[in-house]
Amino acid sequence: MAINFKKQSISSVRWTLVDKGGSQILLLINIFVLGRILDPKDYGLVSMLYIFMSLSGLFIDSGMGAGLIRKQGLTQKDSTTIFYFNMVVASICYLLMFIAAPYVAKFYNEPILTDLLRVLGLNLVITSSGQIHSTLLLKDLKVKKVTRASLIGMFISTIIAITCAYKGFGVWSLIILNMVQSVISVSLLWKFSGWRPSREFSTKSFKEFYSFGIGLFMASFVELIFKNFYQPFIAKMFSASYTGFYYQARRLNEVPISILSSVVNSITFPILVKFQDDIPKLTSTYEKIIKLLIFITLPVVILLFMLSHSIVMILMGEKWIYSAGLLQILSMAGIFMVLENINRNLLKLEGRTKLIFKLEVVKKIIVVITILATYRFGIEALMYGIVFNAMTSFVLNQYFTIIKISDYRKIFMILINGAIMAAATYFSILFLKNNYLILGIGSFVGLSTYLLLAHLMRLEEQKWALSILSNKFK
């Protein structure tokens, strides 16, 4: 049974990487094609609405998805109860969004936002109908099926959105992209999972999951407000175009970081849950994951930082060049974002959801202070504030988890490896002018240096990464 779980865990990690890797490749295609057709303002308009969509999605889940994964002996009644809760809350959120749309448009002085928000809001009802199906598949580590649904939906919606953009649909191409992707993905989740709701709602089940999820919900609520606060804040204080620049820089930064964070969020929690009653095994598993994540994330962050200008020029063109500077700054926060997620999963595993909420309140007080101290100096200063906040969040989470990072010597060796890689990348592109050469040679030299040094240093994290790909990780 242990062997089967091990194989299942490895397969889940690999399929999560395929899912997020494939979706981020399709996202790059979106950025490359749509970014050259649409204006920064188009992206800025849509990004203004994401905070409303994200907050509604948070209310729909209310932290209960993690409760479903955590609970041993989950019943049909449990799943059905949460399904109906999700659907009811999604309908209420859409109704409120429909009513509020004209006021949102007036606040930003952008009349088109009324129709955009009312149409995009339908996505809430669509996605909520497949939320339980996705959660149950992840609980059983059947990530392959979730991956197939996600990638098929993303692929078809990308083709349709690009076609619409060429036909002159403008900002509506981005709305169509989201709507089509949700419809296809949810339909496939229903097909792949085989789960169907029954005609029963259990108050007892609801209270059980609500009790666990309320702390997570409150913590996520606070986190989400501030994570998505920058887009409407920049739109109000600066302009929709600057919001578009920030939105694209953030998306480019999230291409690799999202892959790693998604693996951490969707896979490490159900894996660590299996060892929640075996502290020594839990500790060793956690330490392995931490070192592996640092080893994998560090070169990604370095390449984003060193090659940001060429990445933006190649993918989106000169009209987006302002995003390059923002991307360079944001890249520095990546490694802390990934590590914070696993520490948060440990707190969830320990059932300390109220502590998670309290920590989020403290973090966001720091965020408010940072914003007030930086926004008057421009958007770049705001970006440095985001980096500072990411570092602070990681330190706070690490301090309050029961299991601490202990192998600092190994982590220091990985960081030394990264510093040498950065120097090699810098000198390899110092006299190059062509962006394609800069990206190609810089990436090759940097990664080759990093992997060669890891081999010479005999870093076991490199062996772990390779063994995951070869399905032999122990």
What is the H or E stretch that residue 69 is in?
A: helix 64-70
Q: Which of 175, 205, 228 is the last residue of a domain?
A: 228
What mean pLDDT comes out for the span 228-249? 77
Specify whether 100 is located in the same domain as 207.
yes
CA–CA separation, 301 vs 254, rounded Å? 11
Residue that terminates a domain, selected from 177, 207, 228: 228
Q: Are residues 312 and 410 in the same domain?
A: yes
Domain-ending residue, one of 228, 252, 268: 228
Sole residue written with tokens 């894996």: 271
pLDDT at res. 95: 93
Calculate helix-pair angle for 334-349, 240-263, nearest 10 degrees.
Answer: 50
- What pLDDT, on a 0 to 100 scale, did the predictor assign at position 1? 42
pLDDT above 70 for 351: no
Clarify whether residues 172 and 265 are in a common domain.
no
pLDDT at 131: 81
Give mean pLDDT, residues 71-99.
Answer: 84
**Structure confidence at residue 355 as a pLDDT band (50, 70, 90):** confident
462 and 375 assigned to the same domain: yes
Taking residues 281-308, what's their average pLDDT?
Answer: 81
- Cα-based torsion angle of the residue sequence 46, 24, 436, 326 in order, rounded to the nearest 10 degrees: 50
Q: Which of 465, 468, 139, 132 is nearest to 273 (CA)?
A: 139
Same domain, 465 and 363: yes
Model pLDDT for residues 449-468, shown as the tens digit of each residue = 988 988 888 877 676 666 65
Does residue 293 surpass a pLDDT of 60?
yes
Indicate if 3 and 124 belong to the same structural domain: yes
Locate tokens 């501030």: which residue?
Answer: 226
80 contacts: CB under 8 Å, gap ≥ 6? 197, 198, 200, 201, 202
Q: Are residues 216 and 239 in the same domain?
A: no
Q: What is the DSSP string of 214-259?
A: HHHHHHHHHHHHHHTTHHHHHHHHT-HHHHHHHHHHHHHHHHHHHH
> 240 and 219 in one domain?
no
Q: Cα separation of 455 and 391, whole Å?
A: 29
pLDDT at 472: 44
**What is the reported pLDDT for 421?**
93
Query: CB-hemisphere CA count at 13 Å for 103?
Result: 6
Q: Are residues 173 and 249 in the same domain?
A: no
**DSSP assignment letter at 111:** T
Q: Are the beta carbons of 244 and 42 closer than 8 angstroms?
A: yes
For residue range 22-45, list pLDDT tens digits in order.
566 666 676 667 777 887 778 778
Beta-carbon contacts of residue 213 (< 8 Å; ≥ 6 apart): 61, 62, 63, 64, 65, 66, 67, 353
Torsion of CA 470, 341, 460, 278, to 10 degrees: -90
Average pLDDT over residues 56-68: 69
Same domain, 95 and 110: yes
28 and 142 within one domain: yes
Choice between 92 and 349, residue whose per-residue pLDDT is larger: 92
User: Which residue, among 396, 130, 378, has the nearest Cα to 239 in the 3D structure?
Assistant: 378
Q: Where in the sequence is the domain holding 156, given as residue range(s)?
A: 1-228
Q: Verify that 87 and 177 share a domain, yes or no.
A: yes
pLDDT band at 473 (very low <50, low <70, confident <90, very high): very low
Is pLDDT at 430 greater than 60 in this prediction? yes
Q: How far is C-alpha 431 from the chain's CA centre?
A: 35
- Specify the number of domains making up the chain: 2
